[in-house]
C-alpha cells in the first residue's frame, strides 16, 4: 500500500511539473523575440525554479564569493537526472547556455526551448565537422556574454557516484579561456534516478565552488582538479545508499 501511495504521489508530481513545463516553455519561446535577452532571463530562471519546485525539490544554493556575477565561466556539474539543467540554471544567478547532445534538440517542446535560447549542440557521434561547430558556437555564446553549463561525465549516473570526465571539453576549455567553476549537486540522486520513476521530495544542495583558472594548466590537470572538487563535496555529504524503488 505504501508503494502504491508513493507511486500515486510521484505520478501526481510528474503531472503537475509537466502541466507547468509545457505551456511555460511555449510561452517563453514565444516571448523571447519580443522581450529580448535582458528581460527574458529572469523569466527563464523563474521557470527553471518552478519546474523543480513543482516536482517536489527544494533547492539550497551556496555560491563562492570569488564568483564574479558579471564574468563568463564554464560551469561543470555532476549529472544525475532529467531535472539537472533546470537545477543548475536556477542556481547560477547569471546568464548561461548549456551544451546539449544534438539529439536533444529534436525532443518536442524541450528541444524547441534549446533552439530558441541558443544552447550549443554536442554531436552524438563525434566528428571533425561536429566538433568544429561545437567550438564555433561555444565561442559565440562566450563572446556574447554567456557562461556555459556542461555535464562533463557525458551521461547521468546510475549509482550516485561521479563518473570519469570526458577529456574533449577540457581541451576546448584551454582554448576558450574562461575559468571553470565546479558545481556539485547532492541530494539529487535521492530525489530521482535515471532508472526509476519515483520522485522523493527533499532538499537538493547545489554548491558553486571557487573558479579554476585555465591559464598555465593542461586539459588533464583541469579535469583532475574539477573532478576532485566535485567528488570531495559529494563524499563529504555522507554515503548515498540507493533508495528503494
- Which parts of the chain register pLDDT below 70? 1-2, 238-245
Q: What is the pLDDT of residue 237?
A: 75
Q: What is the pLDDT of residue 245?
A: 38
Query: 133: which residues sit within 8 A by CB, 6+ positions away?
Result: 121, 123
**Residue/partner pairs of 115-119 with CB below 8 Å, 24 or more apart:** 116/28, 116/29, 116/32, 117/28, 117/32, 117/44, 118/146
Residue 105 near residue 115 (C-beta atoms within 8 A): yes
What's the CA gap between 115 and 106, in Å, rounded?
Answer: 9
- Among residues 103, 129, 54, 127, the alpha carbon closest in space to that of 119 is found at 103
For the chain, domain boundaries: 2-236
Q: What is the pLDDT of residue 195?
A: 84
Q: What is the pLDDT of residue 10?
A: 94
> pTM for the whole thing?
0.93
What's the CA gap between 112 and 26, in Å, rounded?
Answer: 8
- Which CATH number is correct for 2-236, 1.10.287, 1.20.120, 2.40.160, 3.40.1130? 3.40.1130
Backbone angles phi, psi at 63, to 5 degrees: -120, 130
- On the 0-12 / 13-18 / 19+ scale of CB atoms within 10 A, 137 is middle
Amino acid at each position: 500500500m505504501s508503494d502504491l501511495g508513493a507511486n500515486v504521489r510521484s505520478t501526481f508530481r510528474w503531472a503537475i511539473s509537466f502541466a507547468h513545463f509545457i505551456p511555460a516553455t511555449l510561452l517563453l519561446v514565444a516571448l523571447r523575440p519580443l522581450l529580448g535577452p535582458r528581460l527574458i532571463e529572469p523569466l527563464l530562471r523563474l521557470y527553471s525554479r518552478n519546474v523543480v519546485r513543482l516536482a517536489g525539490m527544494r533547492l539550497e544554493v551556496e555560491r563562492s564569493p570569488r564568483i564574479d556575477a558579471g564574468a563568463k565561466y564554464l560551469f561543470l556539474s555532476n549529472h544525475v537526472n532529467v531535472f539537472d539543467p533546470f537545477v543548475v540554471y536556477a542556481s547560477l544567478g547569471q546568464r548561461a547556455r548549456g551544451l546539449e547532445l544534438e539529439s536533444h534538440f529534436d525532443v518536442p517542446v524541450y528541444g524547441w526551448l534549446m533552439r530558441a535560447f541558443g544552447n550549443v549542440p554536442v554531436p552524438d557521434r563525434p566528428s571533425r565537422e561536429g566538433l568544429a561547430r561545437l567550438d564555433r558556437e561555444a565561442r559565440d555564446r562566450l563572446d556574447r556574454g554567456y557562461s556555459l553549463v556542461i555535464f562533463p561525465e557525458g551521461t547521468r549516473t546510475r549509482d550516485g557516484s561521479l563518473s570519469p570526465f570526458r577529456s574533449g571539453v577540457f581541451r576546448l576549455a584551454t582554448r576558450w579561456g574562461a575559468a571553470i567553476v565546479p558545481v556539485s549537486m547532492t541530494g539529487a540522486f535521492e530525489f530521482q534516478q535515471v532508472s526509476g520513476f519515483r520522485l522523493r521530495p527533499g532538499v537538493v544542495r547545489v554548491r558553486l565552488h571557487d573558479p579554476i583558472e585555465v591559464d598555465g594548466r593542461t586539459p588533464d590537470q583541469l579535469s583532475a582538479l574539477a573532478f576532485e572538487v566535485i567528488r570531495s563535496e559529494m563524499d563529504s555529504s555522507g554515503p548515498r545508499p540507493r533508495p528503494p524503488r
